[in-house]
Amino acid sequence: MPVESFAEFQTKIQRLYHQGEYAEAYRLANEIVARFPDQAPLVNYWRICMAARLGKHQQALELLGQLIENGFWYGETLLRKSPSLSSLQGDSLFEKLVERSLRQQQLDQQQLYPLLTLRTQGGCQDDEHPCPLLIGLHANGSNAQASIDFWKAAASAGWLVGVPQSSQAMWKDAYTWSDLEMARQEIEGHISLLQRQYAADQERLVFAGHSMGGELAIWLALNGVFEARGFVALAPIGSYMDEPESWQPFVDNAAGRKLKGYLIYGEQDPSILPENLHALARMLFEADIPCEIDLLADAGHDYHPAYTAALLRGIQYVIS
């Protein structure tokens, strides 16, 4: 049966990898790379890894070199820590390519704003009428600028919106929140900056996020470091969402605080397990933390206009 979608392709590649069938995974990645240009960074990473696993070091290095020559880069952590690339460590050409990749990463990151701020023109300047504050968190494998469509409606509705840019690099234009403590520290600094520069209502702070940014939004609201009103999680995925019972210590910690949650997902999103969302909502309800689930009939995982109205419903629910 032919692979029809990237999700199916990804599942097949991962299965072949875990079964040790590197040659077939390499063949399939080479065959399919042109079909999904938007996923080229990930597919090319697989091609490099499978070539290295097969001892095809020259092919792996040539592909990595071509990508870097064309202005692309992979994060140093990915190149250094990936088990599939262990056989390349210490190779003189590989080390030079890692250095070039790191230089390009540093140049790119100098152009990134660590925090994007959205508000109405001239808004959020009156200390007597402060704006509610929304922190919008991009997905893993994405970036702040790419997530703007999710959050801009909140700014139009009178919110001060901060959209942090994670510093944890995967590859060009793709960043992650994998280190939660590092993410918390960065976001804490951003919130402090926003509260100094604008009239932000500290009693109406809401965390929102898409995909793994949604999981982070839940984590930030529940862990008690911030005096937040709650969270709005759009299509939340991640290790905690995969095992809802892992939220229990955080839910227990949050019990008794004035919090609300709002979970949003698309009916066309294959990455979401609705039963896991309902399990989390039940846990929150049992801890006297109200939580609503908003199902969007036509939406998938990525941005869809239905998410705009759902976000506005969610933030209003959380602060009401």
92-108 pLDDT tens trace: 999 999 999 999 999 99
Measured N-to-C along each axis, helices 40-53 and 57-69 cross at an angle, to the nearest 10 degrees, of 150
Mean of per-residue pLDDT scores for the chain: 95
For residues 64 and 140, membership in a common domain is answered with: no
Cα dihedral angle (50, 51, 53, 58), rounded to 10 degrees?
Answer: -160
CATH code, domain carrying 68 = 1.25.40
d(CA 68, CA 305): 35
50 in a structural domain: yes
| Residue 292 dihedral angles phi and psi, to the nearest 5° | -110, 150
Residue 274 — pLDDT band, cuts 50, 70, 90? Answer: very high
Q: What sign has the CA pseudo-torsion 45, 47, 53, 56?
A: negative
Whether residue 16 sits in one domain with residue 164: no
Tell me what pLDDT residue 1 has.
47
CA dist 311 and 320 (Å) reads: 14
Looking at the structure, do residues 245 and 141 belong to the same domain, yes or no?
yes
List the domain range (segments joined by +) for residue 45. 6-110
Residue for token digits 């959209």? Answer: 163
Is the pLDDT at 59 greater than 80? The verdict is yes
Share of the chain above pLDDT 90, in %: 92
Which of 110, 137, 152 is where one domain is finished? 110
Does 1 fall in a domain?
no
98 & 134 share domain: no
Q: Per-residue pLDDT averaged across 43-72, rounded?
A: 97
**Which domain-ending residue is among 51, 78, 110?**
110
Is 271 inside any structural domain? yes
Where does a domain end: 95, 110, 125? 110
Average pLDDT (283-296) is 98
86 and 176, same domain (yes or no):
no
Both 213 and 71 in one domain: the answer is: no
- Taking residues 225-240, report their average pLDDT: 96
- 2: confidence class by pLDDT, cuts 50, 70, 90: low
Provide the CATH number for the domain around residue 127: 3.40.50.1820
Q: Does some domain include residue 68?
A: yes
Q: What is the mean pLDDT of residues 247-261?
A: 95
**What does the DSSP 8-state code read for residue 245?**
G
- The secondary structure of 178-201 as a DSSP string is -SHHHHHHHHHHHHHHHHHHS-EE
Say if residue 60 is in the same domain as residue 159.
no
Query: Is-contact 63 48, C-beta < 8 A?
Result: yes
In this prediction the pTM is 0.90
